[in-house]
Structures are given as structure tokens and as C-alpha cells.
Chain A
């Protein structure tokens, strides 16, 4: 099976930079995805890393180290609207769960003024 660990809560101030970590344990590995979910809303896709390194999309960046089974989401120039839950997710190509995306429990980010 798969397991993912991410912090349950992170707090930062507006304008700051915050990093949300995710470690995973899987038999096999395709890549690491990140999703954002505002309270009461639908999850929305943010980024996907299949290879080691940093992927940048505007204020958001995502990093992956396959050798360390570790990744993070980096949010820069934080805004109040970034307050949300952030989920990492993996897909394990081995076994019957090859088509399934497994999500972490989520990190609640609170941005303070």
C-alpha cells in the first residue's frame, strides 16, 4: 500500500514564504501531485512532479526528491486567499491500485494579516 505524511497545520503571515512537506512510502512511484482545497470547496490541481527537481508555476513551486521519497510545496508572497488545505497525492503503479491516486490527510494553511 501507500502512505503519505504531511503536517496537519501551518501558519504564516501575509507576504511570507511557506513550505509544506510531504513524505511518502510506496512500492512503486509515478510522481507527486499537489491539490488545494478551500473550505467547503472542491479540490483543485496545483502541480505534478514526475522527476526530481523544482517545478515553478507563478507564486507556487513544487519540489521532488525520489531518492528521499520526499517533496514539498513552496508558496511565495503569501496572500490571504492562500488560506486553504493542501494535499499531496501519489499513484503507485504496482498492484491493483495502479489507477488510484492516494491522498495525504492534508495541511491546513492559515495566512495571518
Chain B
């Protein structure tokens, strides 16, 4: 099993460009999450999906949209990238117990 996979690993964008970060999990988990992590800080929740077809805002949703395409896949879209969105983005999934989350390897995004 691959666990949680994310693409791309690295991305450089110019201000105003758009892109979609992809995430997939093969553990049959219902819940999936998108976090961002800035230097020296903890993880902050952007959006989460408790089950297929549902999504909810987290702590820092502004500037992002998400799609829960099916049970396996959860994508994060930046419609108009800003330098403040330079960060490392992690996708995670969990069973019913949300305290135990499995993370993907991350996407390092630089917005110029």
C-alpha cells in the first residue's frame, strides 16, 4: 500500500497563476484533510472532508477551494496564487478517530 500520495512534490508559481494539488489515499479512510505548514509553525487546517461528497472549512480556508472527487481523492485548488500562500502543503487521511491521521509527503509551493 502506498498510503497517502501527493503530487506534485515541488511547484513554483507566479502571482495570479492557478494550480491544483492532488492527493490520494488507498487506506479506505473516510476523512481527508489539507494542511499548510509555515516555517517554525505547526500545521494549520485549510479544509477537510468527513466523507465523500462533503467538505468543510478549516482554520485558514481563504484563497483555496477543494474537491472530494471520490473516497480516495481530495484535491486543493489555488485559483489565484499569492506570495502569502508560499508554504508546504500536507494532505492527510484518517478513520473515524480523527486524532490518528496519516500524512502524505507534502508539496512545497513557492509563489513569486
Contact = CB atoms under 8 A, between A and B. Distances in A.
B101 A45 contact: yes
Contacts of B59: 100, 102
A31 to B, nearest CB: 6
A101 B105 contact: no
Contacts of B50: 99
B105 A106 contact: no
Contact of A100 (B45, B100, B104, B105): B45
A103 B59 CA distance: 11
Contact of A103 (B42, B98, B100, B105): B42
A101 B93 CA distance: 12
A99 B48 contact: yes
Contacts of B92: 43
A43 B43 contact: yes
Interface string A94-105: 000001111111
A101 B103 CA distance: 13
B56 interface: yes
Nearest to A103: B42
Contact of B90 (A43, A102, A104): A43
Given A99-B48, A100-B58, A100-B59, A87 B102 contact: no
Most buried by B among A41, A89, A101: A101
28 contacts: A8-B40, A41-B105, A42-B90, A42-B105, A45-B100, A45-B102, A48-B99, A48-B100, A87-B42, A87-B43, A89-B42, A99-B48, A99-B50, A99-B56, A100-B45, A100-B58, A100-B59, A101-B33, A101-B45, A101-B98, A101-B99, A103-B42, A103-B44, A105-B40, A105-B41, A105-B42, A106-B40, A106-B42
Given A42-B90, A91-B99, 7 more contacts: A33-B99, A42-B106, A48-B99, A87-B42, A89-B99, A101-B99, A106-B40
Interface of B: 31, 33, 40-45, 48, 50, 56, 58-59, 90, 92, 97-106
